[in-house]
Structure 1
C-alpha cells in the first residue's frame, strides 16, 4: 500500500496543470477528480466480495495492474477524453486495492492485533501521500508527463513484488464459507454496524472539506504559500503515520477500539476548532497535526471492529467501508467550497459539528451492541 500510494500521490500536484495543458477547464478538472472517487464508490464493495470468493492476491493484482494502465494512459494522453478514460479505468480497477488489503490484514491478524494491523496499513497510506506529491513536484519540472510514467513504473514494480512475494491469506474452505455469508448492502446497513459505516462517512466528509479549502484559508489567515502548505501537510501526514503505525496497537489493547474511536473523534473536533486560530506557519502545522492525529486513529479502529463483529466476509465488509469513505470524499470538496464561500471558517465549524455527529453515531452503535449482548 505504501508503494501504491506513492504512485498515486506522485500525480496529485501535477494533474491540474496537466489537464490545463490539454485544454481542460476548472470544471472539467473537478469532474476528473470526482469520476475516480465515483468509480471507487461503486466498485469497492464489488471487488471486496470478489476477493471473498476467489482470494485476496488475484484481486490485489488486478487493482495494481489497473493503476499501471491508467498511469501510462495519462502519460500518453493528448486530449481530455483520454484523461477521463484513464481515470475511469483507474478508479474502476484500483478500487480493489484498499478493501482487499484491509481484508488481507483481517485474515492474518488475531482479533487483539487487528487494530494494529489496520493501523500499519493506514500509516503506509499516509506515508505514501507524504512522499508521493514531493516526488511528483520534483520530476514535473522536467516534464508534466514524467510523473505519470514514474507512477506507472512504480505500479509495475509493486505488481511484480506482490506476484512473487505475497502469499494468499485465505484458504479454499474460508473462501467458500465467506462467500455463503456475504451480506447485501441493505442488510449491512440495517444491523447495528450500519452506524459505523455512516460514522466513517461523516469523518471522510469533514476531512475532504478541510483538504479542499485549507490552502485558501491558510493563505488568507496566515499568508502561507504553496511551498509552506506542502511542508504543513507533510508534517500532518508524518504525525498521523507515527500514531497509526506505532500507537494504535498499544492503545486498542489497553482501552479497546471503542474508546480509541471516541478519543480520535474528540481530538479531531478540537483540531477543527483550533484551525480557526491559525495565524502563522507554526500554528498551522501544530493545529493541523492535532487534527490529523485524531482523524488517523478512527478508520483503522472502525475497520477492526467491523471485521471482528460482522458475520459476512472480510472483503465485503471492507468494501462497504471503502464505499462510504469514497462517498465522503466525493461530497466533501463541493460542500467545503460552498461553506467557505459563505464564511471562510465555516468548513471547520461544520467539521467539528460533523465530528460530534459521528460521536453520537458511535454511542448508538454501542447501545445497540449492549442490547444484543443482554
Structure 2
C-alpha cells in the first residue's frame, strides 16, 4: 500500500456534509418501503390483483435485493462508493416514478392486466437490482471515513435514516393521496432524483480509498469465519421482524377478535411504537452510551426474546403494543451491532463487500416468512409463528453469547482510523 496522501483524505466538515447527504438519501429509500405498502393494496384491488400477486411482487424484489447487495458491495470496492450510491438513487427514482405511472395508466385505461403486472414486477425488480447498491455503498462510505471507536455511531445513523423514512412514508402517502393516489410516487421519485444530484455535487470522494490500489485476490465469502455468525444474526433479525410485521394484523383479527378498522389502528400504533423505539436506540442511546458491539448484540437479542414470550401469554391490546415497542428497541441495537461488528472484523479493502453481504440479509424475512411462519399460522395455530420467532431469537442470543464471537474482544480494543 502506498503512503497516504493526506491532502486527499476527507476533512471533518466534508465528512459531516457527506453523512447528512447520505442520511437524506436513505430516508427517501426508507419512505419508499412503507409508502408502497400503504398505497399498493387498495390500488391493486382496483386493478384486479389479489394479495398473493401483490406479495409476489415484493418477494421478487426482495430476492433481487438479496442477490445483488453483495455484488454492489464489491463493485463499490473497485470503482468507489459515490458512483454506486448515485446508480442506486437513480434506480430508486426511476423505479418509483415508473411504478406510479404504470398504476395510474392501468387504472385510467383499458389494458391487459397480465401485461401491466409484468411491467410492475419489472419496475420493482429494477429497484431490487440497482437500488440495493445505495445503502450498501453508503455504509461502506461511512466505514471508510470513521475510526473504530466512531463506527457504531456512523452505522447507527444510516440505520436510523432508513427507520425515519419508514415512519414518514405512510404519513407522506396519506397527505398526498388526498389529491391523488399516484402523486406520492411521483414526488418521492423527484426526491430520489434530487438525492442523486446532491450526491453528485456535494458528496466528497476525490478518489477511491487508497487500500483499493492493492486489492487481495481472495474474496470475502459467506463462510468466512469472521462474519459467518454475524450473517446468521442479520438473517435471523430480518426473519423475526418480518413475523411481527406480516402476521400481527391477522393475529389481532383472529385472537383479539377486533374488526378491520380497530385492527388497523391497533397494529398501526404498535408498528409506530416499534419504529420510534428503533430510532431512539440508534439516534439517542447508542451515540450517548457508546456501547460495545458485543453489548449491542446481547442486549438486542434479549430484547427480541422477551416480546415473543409475551405473544404466548393471554393476549391483550396493551400487551400487543408493549411487545412491539420492546422489539423495536431490540431491533435498533442488534442491527447496529451486526453492521458495526461486521465492519470492524474485516480489513479496509473489504468494507464494501461486507456491507453488501450484511445488507443482503435484510430481505431474508420478506422472502421466507410467507412460506414458513405464515404457513404455520394458517395450518397449525396462530401462536405457532411466534413460537418459531422465539426459537430463532433464542438461537441468536445463544450465538452472540457463544465462543463464535470471542474475536470481538480483539477488534473492539482497537481504535485505528480507516481513512
Pairwise CA RMSD of aligned residues? Answer: 2.3
Further displaced range: 107-116 or 136-145: 136-145
Matched, 1:32 2:69: no
Match of 2:70 in 1: 45
Separation in 1 of the partners of 2:66 and 2:88?
15
Further displaced range: 52-61 or 148-157: 148-157
Structure 2 counterpart of 1:101, from 134, 138, 147? 138
Structure 1 counterpart of 2:159, from 102, 122, 125? 122
Question: Structure 2 vs 1, CA of residues 259 and 86 (structure 1 numbering), >3 Å: closer, same or farther?
Answer: same
Match of 1:164 in 2: 201
Separation in 1 of the partners of 2:405 and 2:331?
20
Give matches, 1:238-253, under 5 Å.
238-253=276-291
> Would you say how many aligned residue pairs link Structure 1 and Structure 2?
368
TM-score relative to the length of structure 2? 0.82
Further displaced range: 361-370 or 125-134: 361-370
Structure 1 counterpart of 2:394, from 342, 350, 356? 356
Separation in 1 of the partners of 2:307 and 2:95?
36
Match of 1:218 in 2: 252
Give matches, 1:1-374, under 5 Å.
1-77=26-102, 78=106, 79-168=116-205, 171-177=208-214, 179-180=215-216, 183-185=219-221, 188-222=222-256, 223=258, 224-253=262-291, 256-277=292-313, 279-311=315-347, 312-341=349-378, 342-362=380-400, 363-367=402-406
Separation in 1 of the partners of 2:174 and 2:217?
46
Deviations 1:34-79 (A, max 9, x none): 0110110110011111111111111000000001111111112132
1:282, distance to aligned residue in structure 2 (A): 3.5
1:138, distance to aligned residue in structure 2 (A): 3.2
- Find runs of 4+ consecutive structure 1 residues off by over 6 angstroms: 368-372
Name stretches of at least 5 consecutive residues in structure 2 with no aligned partner: 1-25, 107-115, 412-419
Determine which structure has more spread, i.e. the larger CA radius of gyration: 2
Question: Structure 2 vs 1, CA of residues 141 and 75 (structure 1 numbering), >3 Å: closer, same or farther?
Answer: same
Question: Structure 2 vs 1, CA of residues 189 and 142 (structure 1 numbering), >3 Å: closer, same or farther?
Answer: same
Separation in 2 of the partners of 1:278 and 1:122?
33
Contact kept, 8 Å, 1:196 with 1:365, in 2: the verdict is no
1:164, distance to aligned residue in structure 2 (A): 2.1
Deviations 1:317-358 (A, max 9, x none): 010111122223311233221121221112222111101111
Q: Say which SS state the counterpart of residue 180 (structure 1) adopts.
A: coil
Deviations 1:90-113 (A, max 9, x none): 111101012111111111211011
Name stretches of at least 5 consecutive residues in structure 1 with no aligned partner: none
